């Protein structure tokens, strides 16, 4: 009887302490207590590109941190580091520098250029002027003919623009490139396409009803790649993003002005 009373009193004490203490950290939080960097366990439907997209990282850096080579295959259950290892931060880490150089060279050799008139991917020059980021030698097209109903806002966490339309209306590639992701594995994006234009630029087309292209397909600018829908959204719309070296940028800075 005494043991039962003691157990009940202990349970009540723990319950009261739990109500006033720190919230329980979910098991999905894989941040190591000994490291300021996070890790991510690959789940079914993930790819290197979607993981990098989810955390706003450059896919090339994530590949380097995890010693992944093109075509960057990942498997469910695999642990993906979202920051450099401590060894790679050491000033004397000549070995890690050699690994980075080798991986970068592999990336350059493994990725064919899509645009016929672009002889050197290094010709894409990033310019920053009054906080704006622009590119030279690349022409962007509108991915849909609809009206913009939601603007890019870094402060509000809106990483792209939303374009309203009707179910089934065409979605086209904003520039030439290669499809590096096609699926619904990225939460909040519905049926999604991610298009790689070169080593710096990626674009995303979300909430589609039908995908016309598959991963690995090369597409031309203004080629139909999907049909507009409402997957993962409350209304029919296209959510469109452009990422430069993993970071979201305002698509309206790149798309031509509409008449």
CB 207 within 8 A of CB 190: yes
Which of 109, 142, 174 is the endpoint of a domain? Answer: 109
Residue among 129, 208, 217 nearest 179 (CA) = 217
Q: What is the CATH number of the domain that holds 39?
A: 3.10.350.10
Q: What is the CATH number of the domain that holds 220?
A: 2.70.70.10
Q: What's the pLDDT at 180?
A: 97
* Residue 16 belongs to a domain: no
Q: Do 170 and 105 share a structural domain?
A: no
Q: Is 12 left (phi over 0), alpha (psi -120 to 50) or beta?
A: alpha
In the chain, how many domains are there? 2
In tens, the pLDDT along 60-99 reads 999 999 999 999 999 999 999 999 987 555 443 444 444 4
* Residue 245 belongs to a domain: yes
Mean pLDDT on 157-175: 97
Least confident range from 22-26, 76-80, 84-88, 235-239: namely 22-26
Domain that holds residue 206: 132-253
Q: Reduce the DSSP state of residue 2 to 3 states and report it.
A: helix
Res 209 pLDDT > 50: yes
**Residue at token pair 């979910």:** 26
* Residue 221 belongs to a domain: yes
Q: Do 139 and 230 share a structural domain?
A: yes
- For the chain, give percent helix, strand, coil, nearest 5: 25, 25, 50
* Residue 13 belongs to a domain: no
Q: Do 175 and 101 share a structural domain?
A: no
Mean pLDDT on 124-153: 68
CB 232 within 8 A of CB 191: yes
Q: Do 227 and 146 share a structural domain?
A: yes
What is the enclosing helix (H) or strand (E) of 150? strand 148-150
Res 33 pLDDT > 90: no
């Amino acid at each position: 009887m005494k043991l039962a009373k003691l157990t009940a009193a202990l349970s009540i004490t723990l319950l009261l302490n739990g109500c006033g203490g720190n919230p329980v950290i979910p098991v999905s939080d894989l941040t190591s207590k000994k490291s300021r960097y996070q890790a991510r366990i690959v789940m079914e439907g993930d790819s290197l590109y979607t993981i990098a997209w989810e955390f706003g990282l450059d896919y090339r850096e994530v590949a380097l941190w995890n010693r992944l080579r093109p075509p960057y295959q990942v498997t469910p259950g695999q642990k993906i580091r979202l920051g450099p290892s401590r060894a790679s931060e050491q000033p004397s880490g000549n070995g890690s520098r050699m690994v980075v150089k080798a991986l970068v060279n592999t990336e350059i050799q493994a990725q064919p250029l899509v645009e016929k008139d672009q002889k050197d991917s290094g010709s894409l020059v990033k310019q920053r002027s009054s906080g704006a980021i622009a590119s030279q030698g690349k022409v962007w097209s509108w991915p849909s003919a609809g009206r913009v109903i939601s603007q890019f806002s870094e402060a509000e966490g809106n990483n792209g623009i939303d374009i309203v339309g009707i179910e089934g209306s065409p979605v086209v590639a904003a520039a030439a490139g290669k499809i590096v992701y096609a699926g619904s594995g990225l939460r909040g994006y519905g049926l999604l396409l991610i298009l790689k234009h070169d080593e710096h630029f990626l674009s995303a087309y979300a909430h589609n009803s039908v995908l016309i292209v598959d991963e690995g397909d090369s597409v031309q600018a203004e080629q139909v790649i999907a049909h507009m829908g409402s997957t993962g959204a409350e209304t029919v719309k296209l959510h469109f993003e452009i990422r430069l070296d993993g970071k979201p940028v305002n698509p309206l800075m790149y798309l031509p002005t509409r008449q």
